[in-house]
Amino acid sequence: MIELRTPAEIDEMRPAGRFVAETLRTLRSETTVGTNLLDIDRRAHELIRAAGAESCYLDYAPSFGSGPFGYVICTSINDAVLHGRPFDYRIEDGDLVTLDFAVSVNGWVADSAVSFVVGTPRDEDLRLIDTTERALAAGIAAAQPGGKVGDISAAIAEIAHAEGLKINTDFGGHGVGRTMHGDPHVPNNGRAGRGFPLKPGLVIAIEPWFLQTTDELITDENDGWTLKSADRSRGAHSEHTIAITADGPVILTQV
């Protein structure tokens, strides 16, 4: 079911968006060569507690993961791109890190992800990250009242295809509200003018993610959660929660 939010409800969603944005900024700035992924999770947990927020991930047990996630943040490293379960690993120079974080504050969810390189970057990693960021910006720009979900999908896909990237549509954007994953699904590929109508009050996460040289994912056999590229090439992911208003899209997950 698709729910539309009033302008007052969208205002109520702002603290969650701001907290998610601030937390990702803090965690990113504290992540250096040698940072342990478990410390990033611990720190995120501490910030959640201090803010009185509630994790969307800790007890989350969907069909696409094995049991409850058990952590409050996804840390996907290098060939891992989505749902990276934190584990005892110290970040190395040149690692491509994705942090994906969702909480609720006052009963409203916000969901956002960012990718970055720690230490000395490789050109192709910076290019991949830049492509997901440009795809996210294009998807947001296409999220106009009167349009269709396919407008967002097509805008994202156009950026990826211009870079010669293949797109996996097994996971994409989604409605955001009282819970993290709602309707409509917002695929990272599709046709403009098709799909669910974009109306004022629709709140969605838009989340392009791409792999360097494949569109095939495998699940890490050790944790049953982390999604990695089938060919070990690296992945990147950029996500914002946005509200569609009569005046156009508004990004909620920014400070």
Minimum CB separation of residue 55 from ligand MF3 in Å reads 9
Bridge partners of 150, per DSSP, are none
Is position 150 an interface residue for ligand MF3 (rule: CB under 6 A)?
no
**Nearest residue to Co ion, using CB?**
205
DSSP strand pairing (173-175 vs 248-251): unpaired
The dihedral formed by the CA atoms of 153, 134, 37 and 69, expressed in degrees to the nearest 10? -10
181 assigned to a ligand binding site: yes
Contacts of 168 (CB under 8 A, 6+ apart): 188, 211, 215, 216, 217
Is position 207 an interface residue for ligand MF3 (rule: CB under 6 A)?
yes
Residue 40 in contact with residue 89, Cβ under 8 Å?
no
170 assigned to a ligand binding site: no
Residue 210 in contact with residue 131, Cβ under 8 Å?
yes
Is position 210 an interface residue for ligand MF3 (rule: CB under 6 A)?
no
| Binder among 10, 24, 37, 74 for ligand MF3 (CB under 6 A) | 74
Is position 41 an interface residue for ligand MF3 (rule: CB under 6 A)?
no
Which of positions 217-246 make contact with ligand MF3 (CB under 6 A)?
239
Residue (of 68, 102, 71) closest to 84 by Cα position: 71
Is position 125 an interface residue for ligand MF3 (rule: CB under 6 A)?
no
Residues of each annotated binding site for substrate: 83, 181
Would you tell me which residues interact with ligand MF3 (CB under 6 A)? 57, 60, 65, 69, 74, 83, 100, 102, 111, 113, 205, 207, 239
Residues of each annotated binding site: 83, 100, 111, 174, 181, 207, 239
